[in-house]
């Protein structure tokens, strides 16, 4: 008994310790998230005296990076105060000195490669300042440096919270800048980095039509095509995005393969590798989507629910959507003829086999769904007829019932005549039984001329 009590006490203490540690970690995580969501409305006057001293040092050296301070040349981690000071330079040099502003942006981009600095800069409101600066500044070099700094700051699960409502702006930005420019490529890379974490995926899905329009403009530059392919791979890794990604246009498999087929006519091995890298990204995207679809169709608890899967409904998808690449039988057969083992990369061959197998599974599911829909329609029609029409006695049962009644009546009459015969014979008179029996038979025979017979009454009941 003592050992049992000791065991109970030990378990209670262990549970209390685990609960305490869990609560401590939970509140610590909450504090980090709350601190990461602070706005850029920071009182920079608190650090005005420190910044003034550094400004005096920078005037002689030509820029903040030449002042000799470690945090400005990216050789050490930032403190909270240093992050605020560095962010303050974005406002100080925004209108006065473009060269110094670009120097500060380069410093932020370099320092922003460290995880600790990403958190400090985001808490200091640096991301919000960079977003505002991207809209207000029209200098192309400055915009490139802003995008470079933002690209480095996105790779953090806390800093990414400051990029809320930024995806639509970047999609529009990439559509307005010149094609094949570094500025546009940096913007596409930023879209890729923002899609690494699932925090902003809903913003991509809510702007799926605009994303389709952007995809249509990238097929003139290998770098842009590759950047967009990386973005699609990141988005397709999230299964909850599948239904919206099926609405994407301008990602036809035939067009992608034909675009990459130029490598076969090239003698440059580097170019062949580049095109295969592009093809691998889009094959990965296709395989991710197809795998999610197959898993969803197989997850259905029974074939009767297979026909109700949302993936089998083509109505919400526009013409030329990705949906038809995977569900249209002609497209499926075309994909098999296009995806031949003609590439040097064994990884590409592996993804081709995966995609073809997934398409076969989808086609099999479509067939099963069609069969079940037909069976359900017949079953439903049978239930409707049974519910609306009462069951009626069959013709054979009706005839048997009438014959049985006649037999019973005949037996009763015979029994009555037998009693009469016995009484008359006792008196010695003639027997009237023959006349009575003949009279009864003649009465029964009149039923043969009755216009409503049992056989004819059944059709009337059916009517």
Tell me, what's the pLDDT at 453? 37
**Distance between CA atoms of 4 and 12, rounded to whole angstroms?**
12
Torsions phi, psi for 249 (to 5 deg): -115, 175
Q: Are 366 and 332 in contact (CB under 8 A)?
A: no
Structure tokens at 441: 């038979």
The Cβ of residue 132 has, within 10 Å, a number of other Cβ atoms equal to 15
- pLDDT at position 422, please? 46
CA 453 to chain centre: 68
d(CA 247, CA 235): 13
Q: What angle do CA 396, 402, 405 make, to 5 degrees?
A: 140
CA distance 217 to 175: 8
3-class secondary structure per residue, 326-357: HHCHHHHHHHHHHCCCCCCCHHHHHHHHHHHH
Q: What is the pLDDT of residue 307?
A: 46
- Count Cα neighbours of 102 within 13 Å in the Cβ-side half-sphere: 12
Given a contact cutoff of 8 angstroms between Cβ atoms, the answer to whether 58 and 67 are in contact is yes
Kind plus residue range of the DSSP H or E element containing 100? helix 98-111
Per-residue pLDDT tens over the stretch 127-159: 999 999 999 999 999 999 999 999 999 988 899
d(CA 244, CA 182): 30
Q: How far apart are CA 460 and CA 28, in angstroms?
A: 84
Alpha-carbon gap, residue 131 to 144, rounded angstroms = 12
What's the farthest any 2 CA atoms get from each other in the chain?
162
* pLDDT given for residue 39 in this prediction: 39
Ranges of residues in the chain whose predicted pLDDT is under 50: 35-54, 56-69, 302-307, 392, 394-396, 413, 417, 419-463
Domain residues of the chain, as ranges? Answer: 35-163, 166-236, 246-387
Give every CB contact of residue 106 below 8 A, 6+ residues apart in sequence.
Answer: 65, 145
pLDDT in tens, 51-101: 444 454 444 444 444 444 455 555 568 889 999 999 999 987 776 788 999
Dihedral of the alpha carbons of 395, 397, 403, 407, in degrees to the nearest 10:
180
The pLDDT score that the predictor gives to residue 389 is 53
Q: Rounded to an integer, what distance in angstroms lies between the CA atom of residue 453 and that of residue 129?
A: 98
**249 - beta bridge partners?**
321
Check: CB of residue 74 under 8 Å from CB of residue 121. Answer: no
* CA angle, 117 then 128 then 167, to 5°: 105
Q: What is the pTM of this model?
A: 0.68
Residue 67's nearest CA partner among 41, 99, 20, 103 is: 103
CA distances from 300 to 149, 296, 356, 366 (A): 46, 7, 22, 13
């Amino acid at each position: 008994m003592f050992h049992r009590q000791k065991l109970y006490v030990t378990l209670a203490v262990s549970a209390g310790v685990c609960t305490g540690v869990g609560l401590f970690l939970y509140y610590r995580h909450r504090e980090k998230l709350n601190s990461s969501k602070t706005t850029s409305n920071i009182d920079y006057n608190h650090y005005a005296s420190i910044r003034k001293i550094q400004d005096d040092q920078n005037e002689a050296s030509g820029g903040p990076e030449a002042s000799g301070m470690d945090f400005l040349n990216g050789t050490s981690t930032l403190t909270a105060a240093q992050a605020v000071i560095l962010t303050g330079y974005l406002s100080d040099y925004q209108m006065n000195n473009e060269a110094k502003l670009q120097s500060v942006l380069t410093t932020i981009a370099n320092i922003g490669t460290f995880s600790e600095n990403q958190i400090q800069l985001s808490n200091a409101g640096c991301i919000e300042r960079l977003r505002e600066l991207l809209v207000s500044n029209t200098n192309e070099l400055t915009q490139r440096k802003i995008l470079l700094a933002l690209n480095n700051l996105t790779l953090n699960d806390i800093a990414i919270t400051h990029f809320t409502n930024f995806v639509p702006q970047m999609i529009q930005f990439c559509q307005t800048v010149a094609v094949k420019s570094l500025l546009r490529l940096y913007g596409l890379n930023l879209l890729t980095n923002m899609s690494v974490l699932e925090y902003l995926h809903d913003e991509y899905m809510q702007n799926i039509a605009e994303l389709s329009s952007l995809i249509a403009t990238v097929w003139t530059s290998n770098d842009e095509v590759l950047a967009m392919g990386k973005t699609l791979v990141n988005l397709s890794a999230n299964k909850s995005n599948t239904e919206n990604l099926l609405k994407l246009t301008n990602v036809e498999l035939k067009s992608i393969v034909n675009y990459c087929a130029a490598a076969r006519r090239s003698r440059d091995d580097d170019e062949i590798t580049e095109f295969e890298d592009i093809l691998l990204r889009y094959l990965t995207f296709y395989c991710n989507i197809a795998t999610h679809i197959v898993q969803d169709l197989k997850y259905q608890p029974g074939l009767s629910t297979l026909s109700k899967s949302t993936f089998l409904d083509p109505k919400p998808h526009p013409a030329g959507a990705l949906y038809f690449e995977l569900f249209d039988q002609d497209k499926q057969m075309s994909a098999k003829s296009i995806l031949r083992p003609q590439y040097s990369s064994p990884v590409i061959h592996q993804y081709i086999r995966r995609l073809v197998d997934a398409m076969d599974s989808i086609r099999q599911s479509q067939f099963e769904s069609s069969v079940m829909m037909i069976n359900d329609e017949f079953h439903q029609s049978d239930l409707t007829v049974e519910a609306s029409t009462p069951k009626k006695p069959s013709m054979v049962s009706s005839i048997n019932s009438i014959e049985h009644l006649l037999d019973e009546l005949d037996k009763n009459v015979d029994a009555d005549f037998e009693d009469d015969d016995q009484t008359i014979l006792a008196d010695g008179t003639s027997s009237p039984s023959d006349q009575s029996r003949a009279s009864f038979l003649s009465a029964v025979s009149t039923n043969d001329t009755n216009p409503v017979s049992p056989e004819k009454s059944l059709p009337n009941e059916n009517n």
